[in-house]
Every structure is written in structure tokens, then in C-alpha cells.
């Protein structure tokens, strides 16, 4: 799968490991890289969803159309599949996702660590 980024700041953080480690720490940076590598390895977003890695869930409200993927206990990777609609047929064809960032999901509030 192809990964794009929501903006230059997010791309810089995800593509330069020193920046990522400085921002979130080494342990969390490794876990984020693992999830990104798993996304890249999947041929389509639908296949990634079917693996259940990171317990992906669709989001509602301000982030409708996006998915959260568990990185660790409180931290989630927020991604958006590049599709017109989130129906199963579109997700099967989806081979591009956009990373919006990483949030601390403690207490069901979104505290963006990377955005």
C-alpha cells in the first residue's frame, strides 16, 4: 500500500526517525514504525482491515471517514483511506492511505502528538 501524509510536518516526523524519536520517544517511535510497515505491506486497505492488526476502527464526528489503529495502550495512528466512500467495494480497491497523525486517546479525548 502507498502511504501519503496529511501535511509536510507529519511527513517529516514519519520519514525522519530522529525527529520521530525526539517527538514521541524511542519506544513509541518503534511501535509507530511497525504499524506503518504493516500498512505498507498490505496490498489493499481492506486486506489490512481483515488482519485485525492494531484493532482498526472507523471514526465518527470530526474524523468521519478516518480509521484509528492502536499503537500502544493510549496511542492511536489516525489514517484516512483515499476513497470516495467507505463501502466494502471501495475499500477493496483502496491501495493508498493518508496518515493524519498520532493521538493520545486517553479518556476518549484526542490530544494530538503528531499532526
Per-residue model confidence as pLDDT tens digits over 39-80:
999 999 999 999 999 999 999 888 888 999 999 988 999 999
CATH fold of the domain at 2-114 = YaeB-like fold (3.30.2310)
Residues 6 or more apart in contact with residue 81 via CB below 8 angstroms: 45, 65, 67, 90, 91, 94, 96, 97
What pLDDT is attached to residue 108? 66
pTM, two decimal places: 0.91
**Distances 8 to 14, 16, 25, 41, 62 between C-alpha atoms, Å:** 10, 12, 20, 23, 21
> 8-37 pLDDT, tens per residue?
999 999 999 999 999 999 999 999 999 999
Cβ atoms 46, 88 nearer than 8 A? yes
Q: What is the mean pLDDT of residues 100-109?
A: 83
Amino acid at each position: 500500500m502507498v502511504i501519503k501524509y496529511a501535511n509536510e510536518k507529519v511527513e517529516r516526523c514519519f520519514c525522519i526517525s530522529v525527529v520521530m524519536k525526539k517527538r514521541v520517544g524511542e519506544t513509541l517511535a518503534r511501535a509507530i514504525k511497525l504499524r506503518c510497515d504493516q500498512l505498507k505491506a498490505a496490498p489493499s486497505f481492506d486486506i489490512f482491515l481483515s488482519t485485525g492488526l492494531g484493532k482498526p476502527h472507523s471514526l465518527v464526528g470530526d474524523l468521519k471517514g478516518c480509521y484509528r489503529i492502536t499503537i500502544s495502550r493510549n496511542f492511536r495512528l489516525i489514517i484516512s483511506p483515499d476513497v470516495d466512500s467507505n463501502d466494502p467495494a471501495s475499500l477493496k480497491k483502496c491501495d493508498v492511505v493518508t496518515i493524519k497523525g498520532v493521538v493520545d486517546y486517553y479518556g476518549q479525548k484526542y490530544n494530538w502528538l503528531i499532526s
